[in-house]
C-alpha cells in the first residue's frame, strides 16, 4: 500500500477523533457538535465544579443511532412516536455531553451552566449533584458493552475536565447509580470502570 493510501485510510479516523478543547469564556467544547438545550440554569453562586456523573441512555431503550436523545434533551420528542416516549416526552432534562457509540460528542449545555441530569441525588453526603457536577450520557444500556471509541472519547473528556476543573479527580468520576442509588442503575454493570480509569 502506498503511503498516500495510508493517509486516505487514516484521514476519516482523524476527522472523527477531532481534538476537544474548551472555550474558557463560554464553556462550550470545540470538537463537539452543539445542540443547545433549554433545560439548564445557573449554578448557585460560588459553586466549584468538582464531580463528573456518567450516565447511560438509549431511546427507545436498546436502540442506537437516530436523533431521539437529542430531541429528548431539547423538548422535541413526540409522545406518539413510541410507547416508551409517552412517559418521558414531558420531562425537562438534559446533560452537558452525549457520547455516541461511534465516539461522536454532542454538547447540549455549557459546562459552566447547571444541566438537569442527576435529579434527586447526593455524593458523600452532599445533596443536589446537579449544582456542582458535569453530566455525560453514554449511548448504551446497562447490560450491553460500551464501545472502544466511547471509552477513548470519555477518557479524553475526563482529561479535559481535570485540566479545567482541577477539583474533578478520577475518584470524583462516578456513575448515576452511585449518586442516586435505588433510583438509577446506569451506566450499569456493562460499564468497565477499570478500563476507563486506566485510560485516564
80 catalytic? Reply is: no
pLDDT at position 18, please? 65
Average pLDDT, the chain: 93
**pLDDT class of 61 with cuts at 50, 70, 90:** very high
Domain-located, residue 40: yes
Domain-located, residue 159: yes
| 133 within 8 A of 119, measured Cβ to Cβ | no
CA distance 183 to 118: 11
Domain-located, residue 12: no
Q: What is the dihedral of CA 40, 49, 143, 60, to 10 degrees?
A: 10
Number of domains in the chain: 1
Domain-located, residue 48: yes
**pLDDT class of 3 with cuts at 50, 70, 90:** very low
87-144 residue pLDDT tens = 999 999 999 999 999 999 999 999 999 999 999 999 999 999 999 999 999 999 999 9
Domain-located, residue 115: yes
Cell of 106: 454532542
Global pTM value: 0.91
Domain that holds residue 146: 22-65+92-199
Domain-located, residue 81: no
Q: What are the CA-CA distances from residue 106 to residues 6, 78, 110, 161, 171 (Å)?
A: 29, 21, 11, 16, 25
Domain-located, residue 163: yes
159-184 residue pLDDT tens = 999 999 999 999 999 999 999 999 99
Give the SS3 label for residue 138.
strand
- Supply the CATH number for residue 105's domain: 3.40.80.10
Q: To which H or E segment does residue 127 belong?
A: strand 126-127
Q: Which of 70, 80, 81, 137 is catalytic?
A: 137
Domain-located, residue 170: yes
Count of residues in the chain? 200
Amino acid at each position: 500500500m502506498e503511503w498516500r493510501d495510508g493517509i486516505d485510510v487514516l484521514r476519516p479516523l482523524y476527522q472523527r477523533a477531532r481534538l476537544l478543547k474548551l472555550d474558557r469564556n463560554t464553556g462550550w467544547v470545540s470538537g463537539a457538535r452543539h445542540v443547545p438545550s433549554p433545560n439548564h440554569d445557573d449554578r448557585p453562586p460560588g459553586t466549584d465544579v468538582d464531580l463528573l456523573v456518567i450516565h447511560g441512555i438509549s431511546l427507545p431503550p436498546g436502540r442506537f443511532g437516530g436523533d431521539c436523545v437529542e430531541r429528548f434533551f431539547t423538548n422535541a420528542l413526540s409522545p406518539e412516536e413510541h410507547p416508551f416516549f409517552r412517559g418521558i416526552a414531558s420531562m425537562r432534562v438534559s446533560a452537558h455531553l452525549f457520547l455516541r457509540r461511534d465516539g461522536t460528542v454532542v454538547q447540549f449545555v455549557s459546562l459552566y451552566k447547571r444541566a438537569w441530569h442527576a435529579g434527586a441525588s447526593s455524593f458523600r453526603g452532599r445533596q443536589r449533584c446537579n449544582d456542582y457536577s458535569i453530566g455525560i450520557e453514554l449511548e448504551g444500556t446497562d447490560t450491553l458493552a460500551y464501545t472502544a471509541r466511547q471509552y477513548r472519547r470519555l477518557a479524553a473528556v475526563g482529561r479535559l475536565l481535570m485540566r479545567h476543573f482541577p477539583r474533578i479527580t478520577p475518584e470524583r468520576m462516578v456513575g448515576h447509580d452511585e449518586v442516586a442509588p435505588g433510583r438509577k442503575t446506569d451506566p450499569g454493570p456493562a460499564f468497565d470502570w477499570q478500563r476507563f480509569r486506566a485510560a485516564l
